[in-house]
Amino acid sequence: MDAGDSSEDPRRLVPLDAVIGVVEVKSTLDGRSLASAVAKARALDDALAHDAALNGPGDYQPFRHVFAYRLDRTCDFDMWLSPAASLTRYVGARRQPDGIFVLDSHFSVLEASHGYAHAFALHRGQTPDEVARTSTVLDQEDERRLVQEGDAWGHDYFTTDATDGLLLLAFLTYVIQRASHYQPVGVNYADLFCRWGGPKLGGMMDFRPPPDPELPSVPVPEL
């Protein structure tokens, strides 16, 4: 069951500790569809928080991505002009998707998930380790952030244009990167289906009909 399902049925065919991540797919990304996607992320976060309160925090946090085929270029996203800018802490966003991927426009990745080293690396064509070895830009960024405290200075997301068809590869890359940290848990899905799906199946057909009285009995050997 979708964590953001609006029904009151609390059952989930996929337990929370088996969720690797969720992707909200939208045809066109505008203010309404972005708000809908964020609401779904909030529902998952609330479910995870409730589970953590009962069982303790998990070792893995599922990713939450928004994927859209096109951007509504007439939408000003509450005058912040971009989806990522409208979801910053400065604006007051309490829930933030880990990534926003718009096929005909750009993608934005939450810095908290990957760190600003990835932002510099992405735009230099290097890995974060290579940036650290060949430049002082990361140290300078650390110093800048120490001086410029407060949410108003935080971009929260690093953003790049979607060019040369690389957005789909970027989307797959960031999904795989987060999913690679997931460790399979011992979940018996057949048991879960028996519990939650069984009552709705309408009863099982009898696969052991009464014996044919005209057939001779077959003795069962003693052990």
pTM greater than the 0.75 cutoff = no
Closest listed residue to residue 75, CA positions, set 87, 86, 61: 86
**SS3 assignment, position 110:** strand
**The two three-digit tokens of residue 35, written as one number:** 């708000």
Nearest to 111 by CA among 60, 58, 146, 154: 154
Q: Quick one: which H or E segment has residue 169? A: helix 166-179
pLDDT at 3: 44
| Residues 29-45, mean pLDDT to the nearest whole number | 88
pLDDT at 6 over 60: no
> Angle 22-62-26 (CA atoms, 0-180°, nearest 5)?
20
The contacts of residue 60 (CB under 8 Å, 6+ apart) are 181, 182, 183
Q: Where are the domains of the chain?
A: 16-114+155-189
pLDDT tens track for 119-173: 778 777 878 888 888 888 777 777 776 666 655 556 788 888 877 778 888 888 8
Question: What is the CA angle 127-162-81, rounded to 5?
Answer: 110
Q: Which tokens belong to 156? A: 């929260």
